[in-house]
Each structure stands twice: as structure tokens, then as C-alpha cells.
């Protein structure tokens, strides 16, 4: 090893080396994760703000590795994207979430929407829309039950394959949702050029009385798009958004993401309590 005096950037180098090691370790552990049943999905209600009614849910992946350590999707999804494992993991999520949707759809009196997060890397893979359509056919699940959530990403607009995948999904009758809206690259050209139906306002804009949130809602209304607000944690925030006619919301105020056994499709939020 070099002496510390000569190597002034050593603390940074060793920091990035340990991050690199952790990523490599995660990529290695991910290899057997599906086979070993280490993934599960939890579901968070999507609430119609005017009525408090649960209209659907968002599927969120959870991972407990072989060492019994829980690793969050914010950490392992980027690793899986980089390694290519996101394709297999993403397919697992699609299948599992659609099966759950079918169960709830059949049990309920109204349709249950299932919102599924899809990585931009999945869109680049050939036949993504075909795979999705095959899952719907095999479950005889109506396309209008599924929402696909895509995070703003410059890589999508610049990739012909991804853009045509978005149109194919949309042509199936599946609604496309632009996730984390307002945090990413190119909000307005996205809305103009791509077939998105719904905007999800990022939770970083969520404290009540936020001008950015109200501006996004007003713009969404102008564009005839539906709006979902994520990260609603307080009654004040809920009332603020409801007053602005934001149609839907999610957040700890209503419920944290839970396993399917704890999810109640008939749950109604009562703002008086
Ligand atoms: P996201 O799609 O923006 O999901 C919202 C995140 O906010 C979730 O974190 C959710 O648990 C959390 N959340 C919900 N309500 C509240 C609230 O009131 N307050 C706060 N502070 N947080 C709230 P989670 O489950 O850790 O997921 C993180 C990200 O990982 C997701 O962000 C999404 O980008 C990604 N992700 C999760 N599941 C999947 C998946 O199946 N596939 C892909 N490609 N990405 C996924
Ligand atoms: Ca999402
Ligand atoms: Ca978000
Ligand atoms: Ca996200």
C-alpha cells in the first residue's frame, strides 16, 4: 500500500472501493434470489381522495437475502439494472403482481387497479409488451386493471425501442404512469411526446401548502391527466391535495405497504377520525 502522505485521496478511494464491493456482493447474492424464494411483494393502497375509497394498490418488491438481511429496492434495483438481472426480477414482479390483482379483482365488487413499477431497462428488452400481454391473457385479467409505473429517465426518450414499447403497452389498454414526477430530467417533453396517462407527484413535494405540488396538479388538469400524490403522511396534506382536486393518493396516512394477507381491498379512509 502507498503511504498515506502521498495518497491524499485514499479515504475516498477506499470508500468507493467498499461501495463497489457491496454492489458486487449484492449482484452475486441476487443470482439465486428468485430460485430461493427470497423476494416478496408488499402492497400499498391507492386511495381516491374525494371518497377515501381504496381503488387499487401499488406492488413494491422486498428482498431478504440468504444471510437473512433485508435490502431495500432503492439499493438492489440499481444493481440489478446494472447487472442485467432486472429483466428476470422484473418478469417475476409482473407475474406475481398480476396474479395478486386477479385474486383481488375476482374477490371485489369493483375493479382493483394494480400499479406495477417497471424499470426503463425492462422496456429496452425485446417483446416486453408481448410478455405482459401474455400474462394478462393467461390470467384473463382485463388490461384496464393494470397500471405500469415508469420513472422519468432520459434513456427512454432517446431509445426507439423503449418509446415503441411504451406505445405497445398503451395500445394494449394499459395505463402508463409517470413516476417521481418533477424530480427527473425532462418533464414537459415527456408529456408531449410519450403516451402517459397519469402523473405521480413525488413525495419530496408533499408537505402541505406546497406550491410545486399545486402547480403540477393544475398542469395535470390542463393536460387532462389523472394525478396521484405519493407520500401523504398527514391529514393537512391530504386535505390540501383534496381541495386542489388531486384525484388519488398514497401514503403512510392511509397505510404503509403490507403483505397481501394484511391488505383489505374494501378499506375506506375516514378523514373524520
Ligand atoms: P417509488 O416507486 O417512488 O415508491 C414509493 C416509495 O415510497 C416506496 O418505497 C414506499 O414504500 C414509500 N412510501 C410510501 N408511502 C410513503 C410515505 O407516506 N412516506 C414515506 N416516507 N415513504 C412512503 P420502497 O418500497 O422502499 O421502494 C423504493 C423504490 O424502489 C420505489 O420508489 C421504486 O422506484 C423502486 N421499486 C420498488 N419495487 C419495485 C419493483 O417491483 N420494480 C422496480 N423496477 N422498482 C421497484
Ligand atoms: Ca412507483
Ligand atoms: Ca417516488
Ligand atoms: Ca422511484
Q: How far apart are CA 221 and CA 237, in angstroms?
A: 19
User: Ligand 1, residues 60, 63, 81, 255: which to mutate, most atoms within 8 A of Cβ?
Assistant: 60
* Nearest atom (ligand 1) to Cα of 232: 18
Half-sphere exposure of 170 (CA within 13 A, CB side): 15
pLDDT computed for residue 100 by the predictor: 98
Which tens digits make up the pLDDT trace of 172-182?
A: 999 999 999 88
> Which residue would you say has higher pLDDT here, 121 or 271?
121
pLDDT tens across 56-88, in order? 999 999 999 999 999 999 999 999 999 999 999
| Alpha-carbon span 191 to 204, nearest angstrom | 20
**Rounded to an integer, what distance in angstroms lies between the CA atom of residue 132 and that of residue 145?**
13
For residue 73, the ligand closest to its alpha carbon is 1
pLDDT of residue 153: 78
Give 205-261 pLDDT, tens digit per residue: 998 888 999 999 999 999 999 999 999 999 999 999 999 999 999 999 999 999 999
Q: Is the CB of 195 under 6 A from ligand 1?
A: no
Question: What integer is the mean pLDDT of 79-103?
Answer: 97
Distinct helix (H) and strand (E) counts, the chain: 10, 9
pLDDT for residue 23: 94
Ligand 1 within 6 A of CB of 202: no
- Taking the CA of 180 as reference, the closest ligand is 3
Going from the Cα of 265 to the center of ligand 1, the distance in angstroms, rounded, reads: 20
Percent of the chain past pLDDT 70, that is, above it, reads 93
Residue 152: per-residue pLDDT: 78
pLDDT, tens only, 188-212: 777 778 899 999 999 999 988 889 9
Q: Is the four-CA dihedral 138, 139, 143, 148 of positive or negative sign?
A: negative
List Cβ neighbours of 19 (8 Å cut-off, separation of 6 or more). none
Q: Check: pTM over 0.80? Answer yes or no.
A: yes
CB of 255 sitting under 6 A from ligand 1: no
Q: How far is the CA of 33 from the centre of ligand 2 (A)?
A: 22
Separation of CA 224 and ligand 3 centre (Å): 22
| Å from CA of 150 to ligand 3 middle | 10
- Enumerate residues with CB within 5 Å of ligand 4 (an ion): 151, 180
Amino acid at each position: 500500500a502507498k503511504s498515506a502522505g502521498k495518497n491524499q485521496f485514499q479515504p475516498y478511494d477506499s470508500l468507493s472501493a467498499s461501495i463497489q464491493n457491496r454492489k458486487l456482493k449484492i449482484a452475486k447474492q441476487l443470482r439465486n434470489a428468485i430460485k430461493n424464494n427470497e423476494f416478496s411483494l408488499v402492497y400499498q393502497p391507492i386511495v381516491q381522495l374525494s371518497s377515501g375509497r381504496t381503488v387499487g394498490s401499488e406492488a413494491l418488491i422486498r428482498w431478504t437475502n440468504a444471510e437473512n438481511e433485508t435490502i431495500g429496492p432503492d439499493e438492489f434495483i440499481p444493481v440489478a439494472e446494472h447487472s442485467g438481472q432486472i429483466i428476470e426480477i422484473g418478469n417475476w414482479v409482473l407475474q406475481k403482481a398480476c396474479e395478486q390483482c386477479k385474486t383481488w379483482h375476482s374477490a371485489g365488487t369493483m375493479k382493483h387497479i394494480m400499479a406495477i413499477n417497471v424499470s426503463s431497462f425492462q422496456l429496452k428488452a425485446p417483446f416486453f409488451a408481448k410478455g405482459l400481454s401474455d400474462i394478462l391473457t393467461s390470467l384473463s385479467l382485463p388490461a384496464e386493471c393494470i397500471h405500469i409505473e415508469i420513472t422519468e429517465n432520459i434513456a427512454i426518450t432517446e431509445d426507439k425501442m423503449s418509446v415503441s414499447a411504451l406505445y405497445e403497452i398503451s395500445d394494449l389498454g394499459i395505463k402508463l404512469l409517470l413516476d417521481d414526477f418533477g424530480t427527473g430530467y425532462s418533464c414537459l417533453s415527456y408529456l408531449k411526446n410519450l403516451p402517459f396517462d397519469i402523473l405521480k407527484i413525488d413525495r419530496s413535494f408533499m408537505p402541505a401548502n406546497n406550491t410545486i405540488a399545486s402547480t403540477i396538479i393544475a398542469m395535470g388538469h390542463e393536460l387532462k391527466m389523472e394525478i396521484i400524490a405519493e407520500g401523504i403522511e398527514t391529514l393537512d396534506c391530504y386535505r390540501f391535495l383534496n381541495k386542489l382536486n388531486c384525484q388519488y393518493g398514497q401514503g403512510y396516512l392511509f397505510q404503509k405497504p403490507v403483505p397481501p394477507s394484511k391488505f383489505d381491498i374494501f378499506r375506506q379512509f375516514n378523514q373524520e377520525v
